[in-house]
Amino acid sequence: MPLVRRLTAAVALAGALVLGSAVTAAADSDDWRITRYDLTAELEPDGGARVTIDLDFDFGPDDDAHGPYLSIVERQEIEGDPDRYRVLEVSDIEVTSSTGAPTDLLVEREDGFVVVRVGSESVEIGDVQSYTLSYHVDSLATPGESAADPDAVIWNVIGLGWEVPLEDVSVRLVAPEPVSSLRCLPGGVGSTRVCDGATTPGDVGVTVEQSRLDPGQGLTVAALYPADTFPTASVAYAPRRTWGNAFTVSPVTGTVGAVAAVGGVGAVLLTRRRRRDATADTPGFLEGAGPPETPCPRASAPSRPRGSPPASSGR
């Protein structure tokens, strides 16, 4: 597969942070904002990463919030491949607060997303609260297709689903080998902007910076590494059931497909019920930024796995 196409199809992982009060919707709180968002991803030889997010959340002067919640993509649609999802397994989720905000943690998996809710329903907070969220994600790096091809990390670090502005944004990647090419794209669908600042390639740790992202804007980082930087990395997939392949007769799906189709009715009912009950916003994606020396694909419209939870205005 050509390099540009491989980059476009590489991993898309985004977190869309939404916040809420039991009474006031996040979209109605014009003074709510993220005043600092620092993300560090420590990339491992197997292509996974330990991700740590330090953020300062300004809830405004009214003590009417309970805490943030976010959705992390764990099952990603693949452009041009209707039969499979790319799987990015998320685990070991932890959260702390240096300002003493409640850090009760509720983690649920909903239709391809890991939904993380932070805070206490019985405790209301305001002003600036600091949180540190960490988790592990598998298969973040994409290995080269041959010994001559570079390894790649194409990551939608911040999705398009944010309902508040983000200020003082920084993203740091630390890898086993120095990065050979780095690109950062902020903005919305079709954005061709570049980030405000970026480390010169050549270091094992590289940082990109953006002073501000408005609500609905995202940020994509594209990094190329020498071949075998992630020597044991592999890409994980899961079957994606669609009307186009549900009834395809083959040695594998001939009878199993019929059983799956029957079972799918229950899944549809569960999904419809989840859509009524879910409160987690779903992230959008900035699809595949290319390296500086190649044409950069334009950002695409938001995409989500079939049956994902709908957008919400708050907790």
- 298 sits in which H/E element: none
Q: Which amino acid is at 51?
A: V
Q: Where are the domains of the chain?
A: 3-239
Q: Which amino acid is at 273?
A: R
Q: How far is CA 234 from CA 1, 77, 140, 194, 288, in A?
A: 16, 17, 9, 29, 18
Write phi, then psi, for 267 (nearest 5 degrees). -65, -40
Sequence-separated (6 or more) residues with CB below 8 Å from residue 66: 20, 21, 22, 102, 119, 120, 121, 123, 124, 125, 315
Q: How far apart are CA 276 and CA 5, in angstroms?
A: 37
- Identify whether the C-beta of residue 16 lies closer than 8 Å to the C-beta of residue 160: yes
Fold of 3-239: Immunoglobulin-like (2.60.40)
Strand order in the sheet with 181-187: 105-110, 113-118, 67-73, 15-20, 151-158, 218-225, 181-187
Compute CA 242 distance to the chain's CA centroid, rounded to the nearest angstrom. Answer: 23
Q: Which amino acid is at 129?
A: Q
- Identify whether the C-beta of residue 174 lies closer than 8 Å to the C-beta of residue 37: no
Per-residue pLDDT of the chain (315 residues; tens, 9 = 90+): 444 344 433 333 334 344 332 222 233 367 889 999 999 999 999 999 999 999 999 998 888 899 988 888 888 888 888 899 889 999 999 999 999 999 999 999 988 889 899 999 999 999 999 999 999 999 999 999 888 899 999 998 998 888 889 999 999 999 999 999 999 999 987 788 999 999 877 788 999 999 999 998 999 999 999 999 999 999 999 998 765 554 444 333 322 222 211 111 122 222 223 333 332 332 322 233 333 333 333 233 333 333 333 333 234
Task: List, as one string, the DSSP characters of 193-207.
Answer: ---SEEPPSSSSEEE
Q: How far apart are CA 289 and CA 299, in angstroms?
A: 8
Q: How far is CA 3 from CA 150, 151, 186, in A?
A: 9, 10, 22
DSSP 300: P
